[in-house]
């Protein structure tokens, strides 16, 4: 009854008071002005990592730059690649680099979780290389890493040791170290995800064994002290994974971290009915980041 009364009272408030969501950036619904000298572009890249070259796509905004850049990490196996988010970020003036880990979605090699972490480091090194930065109009001093689901785990562990990043964002992140604490049969079941055909050289059993052998190393809560000084945006949803991210937020707070922003939205793991909300929240957060001193 109290909830119903509160809702009724809220409905009586003036229009502006009902705007409970984020400000909507014009980049979500408006194309930027064309720049004939330096047009927006999309470039296919092949990024060296672990003796092979993983495939990726760079979304380059209009303008001579150099532009700040986001490295966008997909999940397991990566059915939702958040390319609508990538396009919105580009319209806001950021370059976006998306890539496929070794052994996933046509990138050469066999799929391994530890290699995902190495691949993220390789992509950041690629963006910081002066020749690549100049060609792709990237400002190598203004890089952000962002990931969804398992990619959020990649994001946390990468940001923990890469202190040159402007910030990091985790979207409905899954803590792979937590899975390693499950009985093996439960871990195998959890990893037998749809889209396994997109991964080469692996099985749910192999993935479970790797996680179990690296439980502590793969637990992103354990790197909370290293994330205490990071501008970190943690977004959670109604997918059952929120307690994992909440544990990380609590651990960072215990380590005296003050740069964490958290948000929970009542949507599914893929944010299927909250795509505009996701874009708005991410763009507003990116606008708060400042270049590293």
Residue 109 lies in a domain: yes
Task: Please indicate, yes or no, if residue 17 is contained in any of the structural domains.
Answer: no
Whole-angstrom distance, CA of residue 289 vs CA of residue 24: 18
Does 146 reside within a domain? yes
Domain hosting residue 232, numbered range? 49-286
- Establish if 20 belongs to a structural domain: no
pLDDT score at 187: 95
- Starting at the edge strand found earlier in the chain, the sheet holding 67-73 runs 41-49, 52-60, 95-99, 67-73, 138-148, 167-171, 232-237, 260-265
* Residues near 102 by beta carbon (within 8 Å), at least 6 away in sequence: 49, 50, 52, 54, 108, 109, 110, 111, 112, 115, 116, 119
pLDDT of residue 193: 83
Domain count of the chain? 1
Task: Report pLDDT for 22.
Answer: 82
**Considering the domain boundaries, does residue 34 fall inside one?**
no
Assigned domain for 213 exists: yes
Q: Assign residue 212 the CATH number of its domain.
A: 3.40.50.1820
Q: 61-64 long-range CB contacts below 8 Å, 24 or more apart?
A: 61/32, 61/90, 61/91, 61/92, 61/93, 61/94, 61/95, 61/137, 62/32, 62/33, 62/34, 62/35, 62/38, 63/35, 63/38, 63/93, 63/137, 64/35, 64/37, 64/38, 64/137
| pLDDT tens digit at each of 293 positions of the chain | 333 223 322 233 333 333 357 889 999 999 999 999 999 999 999 999 999 999 999 999 999 999 999 999 999 999 999 999 999 999 999 999 999 999 999 999 999 999 999 999 999 999 999 999 999 999 999 999 999 999 999 999 999 999 999 999 999 999 999 999 999 999 999 999 889 999 999 999 999 999 999 999 999 999 999 999 999 999 999 999 999 999 999 999 999 999 999 999 999 999 999 999 999 999 999 999 976 43
């Amino acid at each position: 009854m109290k909830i119903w009364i509160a809702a009724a009272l809220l409905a009586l408030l003036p229009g502006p008071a009902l705007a409970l969501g984020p400000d909507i950036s014009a980049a979500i619904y408006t194309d930027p002005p064309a720049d004939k000298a330096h047009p927006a572009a999309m470039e296919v890249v092949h990024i060296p990592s672990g003796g092979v070259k993983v495939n990726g796509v760079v979304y380059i905004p209009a303008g001579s730059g150099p532009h700040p850049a986001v490295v966008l990490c997909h999940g397991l196996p990566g059915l939702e690649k958040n390319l609508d988010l990538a396009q919105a970020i580009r319209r806001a003036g950021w370059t976006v680099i998306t890539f496929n880990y070794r052994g996933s979605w046509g990138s050469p090699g066999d799929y391994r979780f530890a290699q995902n972490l190495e691949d993220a480091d390789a992509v950041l090194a690629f963006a910081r290389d002066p020749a690549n930065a100049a060609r792709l109009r990237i400002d190598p001093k203004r890089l952000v890493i962002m990931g969804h689901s398992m990619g959020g785990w990649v994001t946390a562990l990468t940001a923990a040791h890469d202190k040159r990043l402007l910030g990091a964002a985790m979207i409905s992140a899954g803590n792979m170290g937590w899975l390693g604490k499950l009985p093996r049969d439960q871990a195998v079941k959890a990893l037998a995800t749809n889209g396994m055909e997109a991964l080469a050289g692996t099985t749910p059993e192999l993935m479970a064994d790797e996680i179990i052998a690296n439980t502590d190393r793969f637990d992103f809560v354990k790197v909370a002290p290293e994330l205490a000084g990071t501008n970190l945006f943690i977004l959670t949803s109604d997918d059952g994974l929120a307690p994992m991210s909440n544990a990380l937020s609590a651990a960072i707070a215990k380590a005296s971290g003050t740069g964490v922003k958290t948000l929970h939205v009542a949507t599914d793991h893929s944010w299927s009915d909250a795509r505009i909300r996701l874009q708005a929240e991410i763009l507003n957060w990116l606008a708060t980041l400042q270049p590293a001193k």
